[in-house]
């Protein structure tokens, strides 16, 4: 009897969410996205899965997925539909076509009938446009016979060293109610930037290479977890800054930003996140898809792709492929794998209680 728990990752990006679920015990068989560079990274880290470039707004794409699934029983569909229409940093256009892509999740679910469906998005999906998107999602779950639970998860509460909030909808086929996992951390023991990345080479005198060796032993429990299964370090390449940029970074105190700079310094960037230096004793700010505005708590440079990946809870054995700018983009767009892990464990507990 096959005991494998199969899952599909829609709008997969590089596969952060599905990687976490796999760590919990699921097996991802399909990763679907329209961004080829992100799919290349997905394929590299999910060699047992198919990575397929599809436009999920089309009926043909849904049928293609059904064909690829074949006779396999799908236990779980996870999906992170594009969030530009709901994001605080987006244009918030109510008529943005990307705002309705979540319907494709339910079109597929109506055919393959998974036991569980998880949709994640930015917090704004619950409130913007008078909550229309949230209401529509809940209605679709109900139409297909799923009992839906929803919650805003705060990443530091689950051991992730980054201030990040994501909205999750978890649907269970039938009447069982999914209970979200309890927090494992609080303000007294949040994982800090220092605990996350202090073991990585400083790159003070050398920008580093795409593949290199560790320069020291792990100095925290989190670093041990991140380094488990990795014998070399990938994606830890520094950025060469101009003397002017370095001079400005040097004047930003730990945990500070542009507001802490002397009059007339750093005037080229004055928006909210400009010239933000992380604090060694706190989680990082939210990792975004760029790499120009946040700086290392100690070194006078932006974090490397690997440092950002650590702050997102990607283990070091997860390799990002493609140019450095693509690596930053993929990491910033991802859902922290550790959120996938804690949700996956909770689902498997519920599943076991029903078997």
Catalytic residues: 83
How buried is 13 (Cβ within 10 angstroms: 0-12 exposed, 13-18 middle, 19+ buried)? buried
Q: Cα(253)–Cα(91) distance, rounded to whole angstroms?
A: 32
Nearest partner of 167 among 81, 94, 287, judged by Cα: 81
- 10 Å Cβ neighbour count for 99? 22
How would you classify residue 266: left for phi > 0, otherwise alpha for psi between -120 and 50, otherwise beta? left
Please give the backbone phi and psi of residue 153, each rounded to the nearest 5 degrees, phi first. Answer: -100, 140
Inter-axis angle of helices 324-333 and 36-45, nearest 10: 80
Quote the distance between the C-alpha of residue 328 and its chain's center: 12
């Amino acid at each position: 009897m096959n005991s494998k728990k199969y899952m599909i990752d829609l709008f997969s990006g590089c596969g952060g969410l599905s990687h976490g679920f796999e760590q919990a015990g699921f097996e991802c068989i399909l990763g679907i996205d329209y961004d080829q560079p992100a799919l290349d990274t997905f394929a590299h880290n999910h060699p047992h899965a198919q990575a397929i470039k599809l436009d999920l707004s089309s009926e043909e794409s849904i049928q293609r997925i059904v064909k690829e699934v074949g006779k396999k029983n799908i236990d779980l569909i996870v999906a992170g539909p594009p969030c530009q229409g709901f994001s605080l940093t987006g244009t918030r256009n109510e008529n943005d076509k990307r705002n309705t892509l979540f319907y494709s999740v339910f079109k597929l679910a109506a055919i393959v009938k998974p036991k569980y469906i998880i949709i994640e998005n930015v917090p704004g999906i619950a409130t913007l446009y008078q909550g229309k998107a949230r209401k529509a999602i809940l209605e679709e779950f109900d139409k297909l016979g799923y009992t839906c639970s929803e919650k805003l998860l705060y990443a530091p509460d689950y051991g992730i060293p980054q201030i990040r909030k994501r909205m999750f909808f978890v649907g269970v086929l039938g009447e069982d109610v999914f209970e979200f996992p309890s927090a494992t951390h609080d303000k007294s023991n949040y994982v800090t930037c220092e605990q996350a990345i202090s073991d990585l080479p400083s790159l003070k005198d050398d920008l580093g290479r795409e593949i290199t060796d560790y320069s020291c032993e792990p100095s925290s429990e989190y670093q041990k977890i991140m380094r488990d299964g990795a014998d070399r370090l990938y994606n830890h390449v520094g950025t060469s800054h101009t003397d002017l940029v370095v001079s400005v970074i040097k004047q930003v105190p730990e945990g500070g930003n542009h507001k802490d700079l002397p009059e007339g310094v750093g005037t080229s960037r004055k928006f909210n996140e400009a010239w933000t230096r992380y604090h060694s004793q706190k989680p990082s700010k939210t990792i975004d898809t760029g790499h120009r505005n946040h700086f290392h708590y100690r070194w006078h440079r932006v974090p490397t792709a690997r440092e950002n990946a650590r702050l997102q809870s990607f283990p070091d054995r997860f390799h990002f492929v493609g140019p450095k700018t693509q690596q930053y983009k993929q990491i910033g767009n991802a859902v922290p794998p550790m959120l996938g892990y804690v949700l996956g464990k909770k689902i498997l507990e519920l599943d076991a209680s029903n078997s």
